[in-house]
Amino acid sequence: MNTHPSNELALGPVSKRKPSTAINLSLFLPGLGQVYCGALGRGLLHLCALTALLVVALVFLATQSAPPTTILITVAILSIIPTAYSTWDARRMALASREDYRLKDYNRVSVYVALAFLTLPLLTGLAFSVRENFLHIFAMSGSSMSPTFDEGDRIFVRKDSYLDRQPAHNDLVAFLNPANRQQTWVKRVIALPGDILEIKAGVVHLNGAAINEVNGVHLDKTDLPPITIPDHHCYVLGDNRAHSKDSRQIGPVPMIALVGKVVSWR
């Protein structure tokens, strides 16, 4: 009796590994190309190494207070280089595979899809962690900070900027509106705890002297009697004073309401 068909079925069907398929899988998710070529452990190692590398890099950059441009460039490089290597390695493995390569139990489309979906929560969790604890991007609305920011400008906010220190005068800060914590506002810090602030016909006086406003600030004719900024609070104003709701309406902002410092925008 010829038992060859049953033996082949037990060992798995023959299917030569295609370099183009290995490349495409690796570009979609580093490590999948290696799994396709029969190296499950090697593929998982590539995948875990890339994820760990991104996590370590982001944590390091956070502790060094790197600017957003540096962060984005670093993450891009750390994603491209391992992906390129993983793609090259998967192509090499496919080219070196035997013509009579027999499919493993995990050489299935469903397994590749499952690995991709299992990885998504890790990457999503990483992105969420960065957003919640480190760097957040906001889109500006309204004209209260014009011309510094225009409607629709994207701004980068470092959420760890004030963990161990208070803001400085003229810092651009994002904060939760104390009257409606669903709203995040962006304004300029004008006064800090202990400062005596007064506004005369739109001109801000701090501790008895008129301040030098930054270029582009549009003054109005507001008058405000002298007030002393309480502890753990700061006084904020918009750069377009006639069209801004700020500390003149809501009072000094608690430091605890600060989301972070605006470090870049476009």
Q: How does pLDDT run across 4-23, given as a tens digit for each residue?
A: 444 444 567 898 999 999 99
Are 33 and 113 found together in one domain? yes
| Domain boundary residue, one of 88, 107, 133 | 133
Nearest to 65, CA basis, from 135, 143, 155: 135
Helix axis angle, 40-63 relative to 109-133, nearest 10°?
10
CA 146, 149, 155 angle in degrees (round to 5)? 160
Domain harbouring 166, CATH code: 2.10.109.10
* Whether residue 154 sits in one domain with residue 200: yes
Q: Catalytic residue at 247?
A: no
Cα gap 241→207, rounded to integer Å:
20
173 and 248 share one domain: yes
Catalytic member of 144, 146, 244, 247 = 144
pTM of the full structure: 0.61
In this structure, the answer to whether residues 240 and 150 fall within a common structural domain is yes
- For residue 92, report the phi and psi dihedrals to the nearest 5 degrees: -60, -40
Domain that holds residue 86: 4-133
Contacts for 222 with CB less than 8 Å, ≥ 6 apart: 199, 201, 202, 241, 248
Note whether 72 and 156 are same-domain residues: no
- Give the residue ranges of the chain where pLDDT is below 70: 1-11, 58-68, 122-133, 266
Number of independent structural domains in the chain: 2
User: Does the active-site annotation cover 97?
Assistant: no
Give Cα separations from 149 to 13, 169, 195, 215, 255 (angstroms): 62, 18, 27, 13, 23
- The tens digit of pLDDT for each residue in 40-64 reads 999 989 988 887 777 777 666 655 5
Same domain assignment for residues 203 and 244: yes
